[in-house]
Amino acid sequence: MKSIVVLHHLLLFFFLLFSHVSSWKKEEFRNCNQTPFCKRARSRKPQHCNLIATDVTINDGDLVAKLITPNRFEQNPDQNSTDFQPNPLILSLSVYQDGILRFKIDEDPVYNPPKKRFQVPDVVVSEFESKKLWLQRYTKGVIDGESFFVYLFDGYEAVVRSDPFEVFVREQSSGKRVVSFNTHGLFDFEQLRVKKEGDEWEERFRTHTDSRPFGPQSISFDVSFYGADFVYGIPEHATSLVLKPTKGPGVEESEPYRLFNLDVFEYLHESPFGLYGSIPFMLSHGKSHGTSGFFWLNAAEMQIDVLGTGWDAESSIVLPSDQKRIDTLWMSEAGIVDAFFFIGPKPKDVVKQYASVTGTSAMPQLFATGYHQCRWNYRDEEDVKNVDSKFDEHDIPYDVLWLDIEHTDGKRYFTWDRALFPHPEEMQKDLFSRGRRMVTIVDPHIKRDDNYHIHKEASKNGYYVKDASGKDFDGWCWPGSSSYIDMVNPEIRSWWADKFAYSEYVGSTPSLYIWNDMNEPSVFNGPEVTMPRDALHYGKVEHRELHNAYGYYFHMATSEGLLKREGGKDRPFVLSRAFFPGTQRYGTVWTGDNIAEWEHLRVSVPMILTLGLTGITFSGADVGGFFGNPDTELLVRWYQVAAYLPFFRGHAHHDTKRREPWLFGERNTELMRDAIRVRYTYLPYFYTLFREANVTGVPVARPLWMEFPYVEATFNNDEAFMVGTGLLVQGVYAQRARDATVYLPSDHTWYDLRSGTAYKGGKTQKVEVTDADIPVFQRSGTIIPRKDRFRRSTVQMENDPYTLVIAVDGSGSAEGELYIDDGKSYEFKEGAYIHRRFIFSNGMLTSVNLAPSTSKFESDCTIERIILLGHTTKSKTARIEPSNQVTDIELGPLQIRSGVRSSVLTIRKPNVRVSDDWNIKLL
């Protein structure tokens, strides 16, 4: 016994020694080789697939075909009868407005497969079906074999080639391909079958056994993007914006990009392993074609290889060689092929096309776009009060204070630790009296405690996910022994939503919003820290089939709950860690448990940009890094960068030192306050961009190439990003940086927003960097609305006047928009909003109404200041029409900050109302 103790201590000792070297437990997660379906698929050679498409017909507006193996077709009598004879598969292909091709491949029900394969419900928005173009006919032709052509979009057609089977999209006139499926013959579809004697279906990983009662059922195929320089997307990985090849000659062999929602402790940057969320949507971009996209709606574990040029050198396939091409290999453990091609051709077209399938992002409440203060944990009411008052003491604006798991009574969500939080309503009301909201955490694991009302109801009603034997699945999470609500079932979601009623969630008030964490789901004692794949959901669906969507349904149910409690009048705010296509409709996500390191600050930018590209624009990373203690410089830089990213929240692990902005000396307090204030200054702009995302799906924070699709130098830039079309933000990711190298695209002029200095675009500029801020530029030709006054929170800013910053382009003109609504309700859907377009040209600024004339929304807000960048004029006054007043033009600061000296043309106090039509002419 003694020796065991000694050994134990020794192990501990070594653990302590190395714990900070590598905390990520690589061996706890499966790699491709330990994942049989992935290993099988990855080892297949091109032209493995011998399917051919036959019986092509038009049915219900779709093109339908059978995919069969030729020997069966030929009914070869010599065929070895013991060979497994696959059944034909059914292909159905549909065309949707705006350049979207969707095709599904599934087993044919006439052959009575043992089980219906899972198709992910509630992801594709209902409006999408209404955009379907009902196919009437196809044309037959020959391209390397018999092919069937259907019209896809103006100038594009979809092609199904019969033998060998292939699906692709091409430009009608040139015949140039855009995207293609099964071009390399790697398509493989493991059909469900009845278990035979001797079949070994169980899979083991570490101590866990997956019973796999339905046997192998994986799907894999290749997808090629043409005219592509790079591919992007498929979050969530802590990697560069550009997806590096994982396989191929001259490529450092790596794991495929994995999509499997996991709670990863201290994740690494630069790793293709899966994190908290999964979106199987890839975009390609290149100079020659532009942008295209591929989306596979499938919620099972997925692995994706990006194949380096020349990977297929050994195969004899000859492809059109004049087109630069990127090939990818997609592998999934289960489900069906439900695939979408997006033809682009511009970056924004692709994201819009994707958004028309999975929805645009929900319009956030105005408060949610402000700064959020979180920590694991603000311990008690006194702590909350203290933190809140410190913000006021230091005149730092913030909108939301967050409570992590410790606020609950023993990790029973919807309850309060009454010793720490005896008066939750009063606490929330007190915060709200200064315009501030509160967020509490609600996770999907439910403590198995018979006195806990949620557990009682859920177990009584059978609302839990079941284990393989049919009992309520029992896993370990924060509360100890826990069960997990089966959110796939709409009835259960509805029950869950009711739990957010004020009468049910005792201690909640209308200013309380919700945070969903651990919804991958995280199961501490499960395989790979999640739920066993053979656990069973509603409708006998195996967990393996929907794993990646579990958190999505949970997020959805919570969001519905917040909507319900206010009778559908209040926009929900729910932050989720897990995500899936469609998550953007229900709330916000963040990049999970990052680390207080410069590399994590750096990688947060491509991670958030990737989320934006794949639909989820309202995302952010924990400011400062969740684990560890950031040094002060890193913390300040993190605030400065994150202030320009869509979701802006400071958060920290409970083992870390306190890091609220006022704890690092006066100078640093000032720097962090400035960073947060900058964010509040630009809130009118952000809110306008959130509205744009809500309408079109175009993200708030964008990779440079989205705005400059023809500028090759931007394609793999993920250190800088655009906020809307107007701001270019260059992050600073290194210690003691004295300067930054910024690539300013195109022939625009760029105005440094710190000094007003104009920089010529189309080249790399070296700009000075101080600790005070990071380089941010306004692009010429844009007008950006700001509010240059500071308040405690967004609530008090409501009536404050605006500042317009006009950066004129070479022709002396500029444009910008401003969207305003009540910031909280859905009345904007009835047209209750202000939407203006500001156009500046020929020395005159005009405000044009974009809102319906019947808009019931009003605002007394005025414009107090108009700043003109790049405009040269000798005029000292400007005339305002229709009021026919004259106002002064003088030199003023670009930003009102003590010590910042800049002199820019300022139109003083035009005091026109934002809701009115007017113009201002420089005299």
Partner 1 sequence: MKTHTQSFILLVCCSILVLRSAVVVSENILGVAPKDEEYYKVLSSSGTIKCRDGSNSFTKAQLNDDFCDCTDGTDEPGTSACPSGKFYCRNAGHSPLSVFSSRVNDGICDCCDGSDEYDGKVKCTNTCWEAGKVARDRLRKKIATFREGLTIRKHEVEKAKLSAAKDEEELSRLKNEENILKGLVHQLKDRKEQIEKAEEKERIEKENEEKKKKEAEEAKLKEQKSEENVVEQESAGSKSDDEAGAHDHSPSDEEYYKVLSSSGTIKCRDGSNSFTKAQINDDFCDCTDGTDEPGTSACPFGKFYCRNSGHSPLSVFSSRVNDGICDCCDGSDEYEGKVKCTNTCWEAGKDLNKAHTDTEATVTHNDDERDASIDNIEEEHAEENDGPSKVAHEHDPKESSNAAHEHDHSHAPGSKEEDASEDADSLSREELGRVIGERWTGKKTEEQHEDAGTARHNDNGDDDNDDDNEYDDTSDNGHDEEYGGYDTETEEDHHKYEDDDHMNDVGDDHSSDSHKYESDDEIDMSDMESTSNPSWLEKIQQTVRKFLDAVNPFQTPVDTSESENVRKEYDDASGKLSKIQSRISSLTKKLGHDFGPEKEFYSLYGQCFEIKENKYVYKVCPFKEATQEEGHSRTRLGQWDKFDESHRVMVFSNGDKCWNGPQRSLTVRLRCGSKVELADIDEPSRCEYSALLTTPSLCQEGRLKELEDKLEAVNKDQPQGHDEL
* Contacts to partner 1 from residues 398-457, by CB under 8 A: 406, 419, 433-435
Token pair belonging to 155 = 């100038």
Contact window for partner 1 (CB under 8 A) among 538-546, 565-573, 630-638, 789-797: 789-797
Subset of residues 332 to 351 that bind partner 1, contact rule: CB under 8 A:
none
Indicate the pairing of strand 758-760 with strand 749-752.
antiparallel
Asked if 888 is part of the footprint of partner 1 (rule: CB under 8 A), the reply reads yes
| Contact status, residue 348 vs residue 706, Cβ threshold 8 Å | yes
Q: Which of 91-99, 322-330, 741-749, 879-887 is the region at the interface with partner 1 (rule: CB under 8 A)?
A: 879-887
**Does residue 265 touch partner 1 according to CB under 8 A?**
yes
What is the rounded CA–CA span in Å between residue 464 and residue 537? 8
Cβ 524 to partner 1 shortest distance, Å: 4
Q: How far apart are alpha carbons 704 and 376 in whole angstroms?
A: 35
Q: For partner 1, give the closer residue by CB, 160 or 275.
A: 275
Total binding residues toward partner 1, as defined by CB under 8 A: 77
520, 622, 670, 719: the catalytic one is 520
- Regarding 916 and contact with partner 1 (CB under 8 A), the answer is no
Buried b (16+ CB within 10 A) or exposed e, 374-385: bbbbbbbbeebe
791 near partner 1, judged by CB under 8 A: yes
User: Rounded to the nearest 10 degrees, how much is the dihedral formed by the CA atoms of 649, 651, 657, 660?
Assistant: 20
Tell me the closest approach of the beta carbon of residue 319 to partner 1, in angstroms: 46
Q: Of 332, 338, 296, which Cα lies nearest the Cα of 190? A: 332
Is position 204 an interface residue for partner 1 (rule: CB under 8 A)? no
Whether the Cβ atoms of residue 636 and residue 771 lie closer than 8 Å to each other: yes
Under rule CB under 8 A, residue 882 binds partner 1: no
Look at residues 366, 360, 370, 277 and name the one whose alpha carbon lies nearest to residue 584.
Answer: 360
Residues 106, 517, 534, 707: which is the catalytic one? 517
| CA 192, chain centre distance (Å) | 33
190 is catalytic: no
Which residue(s) pair with 844 in the sheet?
Answer: 841, 921
For partner 1, the closer CB: 527 or 587: 527
Per CB under 8 A, 21 contacts partner 1: no
Distances (CA, A) of 757 to 105, 640, 742, 780: 57, 20, 14, 12
Q: Which of 919, 923, 905 is nearest to 865 (CA)?
A: 905
User: Closest distance between partner 1 and the C-beta of residue 10, in Å?
Assistant: 6
Among 789, 837, 879, 921, binds partner 1 (CB under 8 A): 789
Q: What is the largest distance, in Å, between two alpha-carbon atoms of the chain?
A: 95
Convert residues 660-679 into a mask of x (bound to partner 1 by CB under 8 A) and - (unbound): -----------------x--
**Using the rule CB under 8 A, is 909 a contact of partner 1?**
yes
Q: Which residues between 367 and 396 bind partner 1 (CB under 8 A)?
A: 379, 383, 395
Catalytic residue among 210, 305, 486, 593: 593
Q: Residue 394 CB, nearest distance to partner 1 (Å)?
A: 9
Identify the H or E element spanning 563.
helix 550-565
Q: Does 202 bind partner 1 (CB under 8 A)?
A: no
Segment lying near partner 1 (by CB under 8 A), choices 112-120, 294-302, 656-664, 695-703? 656-664
Choose one: 80-88, 355-363, 518-526, 713-721; the region binding partner 1 (CB under 8 A). 518-526
Q: In whole angstroms, give the CA distance from residue 223 to residue 306.
A: 10
Residue of 718, 788, 809, 821 interacting with partner 1 (CB under 8 A): 788
Among 358, 68, 412, residue whose Cα is nearest residue 233: 358
Q: Is the peptide bond before 882 cis (omega within 30 degrees of 0)?
A: yes
Asked if 250 is part of the footprint of partner 1 (rule: CB under 8 A), the reply reads no
Find the shortest distance in angstroms from Cβ 871 to partner 1: 20
Binding to partner 1 by residue 657, rule CB under 8 A? yes
d(CA 167, CA 163): 11
Which of 523, 633, 520, 615 lies closest to 577, judged by CA? 520
Asked if 480 is part of the footprint of partner 1 (rule: CB under 8 A), the reply reads yes
Q: CB under 8 A: which stretch of 47-55, 215-223, 423-431, 524-532 binds partner 1?
A: 524-532
Residue 34 is a binding residue for partner 1 (CB under 8 A):
no
Q: Note the residue count of the chain.
A: 923
Among 540, 658, 763, 856, binds partner 1 (CB under 8 A): 658
Residue number with CB closer to partner 1 (154 or 655): 655
Least CB distance to partner 1 at residue 595 (A): 13
Q: Rule CB under 8 A: choose which of 430, 449, 631, 800 binds partner 1.
A: 800
Of 186, 477, 671, 805, the one binding partner 1 by CB under 8 A: 477
203 interacts with partner 1 by CB under 8 A:
no
Among 13, 73, 201, 710, binds partner 1 (CB under 8 A): 13
* Distance of alpha carbon 160 from alpha carbon 162, whole angstroms: 6
Q: Among 115-123, 150-158, 539-547, 889-897, which window interacts with partner 1 (CB under 8 A)?
A: 889-897
Q: Quote the CA–CA distance of 70 and 541 in Å, as a whole number.
A: 33
* Residue number, 16 or 110, with CB nearest to partner 1: 16
Given 59, 741, 799, 873, the residue binding partner 1 (CB under 8 A): 799
Nearest by Cα to 626 from 596, 606, 590: 596
State the nearest-atom distance from the C-beta of 86 to partner 1, in Å: 38
User: Shortest Cβ distance from residue 437 to partner 1 (Å)?
Assistant: 16
Instruction: Pick between residue 63 and residue 652 the one whose CB is nearest to partner 1.
Output: 652
Task: DSSP for 228-248, please give it.
Answer: -SEEEE----BS-SSPPPSBS
Residue 531 near partner 1 by CB under 8 A: no
User: Least CB distance from residue 654 to partner 1, whole Å?
Assistant: 5
List the one residue from 193, 287, 453, 653 that touches partner 1 (CB under 8 A): 653
Q: Look at residue 494 and give its three-state secondary structure.
A: helix
Give the pairing of strands 536-537 and 445-447: unpaired
Closest approach of partner 1 to the CB of residue 267, in Å = 12
**Residues in Cβ contact with 241 at an 8 Å cutoff, skipping those fewer than 6 apart:** 232, 606, 609, 610, 703, 716, 717, 718
Mapping DSSP to helix (H, G, I), strand (E, B) and coil, where does residue 150 land? strand
Q: Which amino acid, one-letter code, is at 393?
A: E
573-612 footprint of partner 1 as x/- string (CB under 8 A): --------------------x-------------------
Answer yes or no: 517 catalytic: yes
DSSP 466: B
- Candidates 129-137, 476-484, 543-551, 753-761 — which segment interacts with partner 1 by CB under 8 A? 476-484
Catalytic: 593?
Answer: yes
**In sequence order, which residues have a C-beta less than 8 Å from that of residue 451 and are 6 or more positions away?**
none
Other beta carbons less than 10 A from residue 438's beta carbon: 24
Q: Which structure tokens are listed for 624?
A: 């400062």
205-224 binders of partner 1 (CB under 8 A): 206-207
Name which position in 78, 83, 655, 666 contacts partner 1 (CB under 8 A).
Answer: 655
How far apart are CB 307 and partner 1 at their closest, in Å?
33
Helix (H) / strand (E) element for 849: namely strand 844-849
Identify the residue among 9, 72, 540, 569 touching partner 1 (CB under 8 A).
9
Tell me the window of 23-31, 341-349, 490-498, 820-828 that interacts with partner 1 (CB under 8 A): 23-31
Annotate 734-781 with DSSP letters as a single string.
STT--EEEEEE-TT-EEEETTT--EEESSEEEEEE-BTTB--EEEETT
Instruction: State the nearest-atom distance from the C-beta of 656 to partner 1, in Å.
Output: 7
Positions annotated as catalytic residues are 517, 520, 593
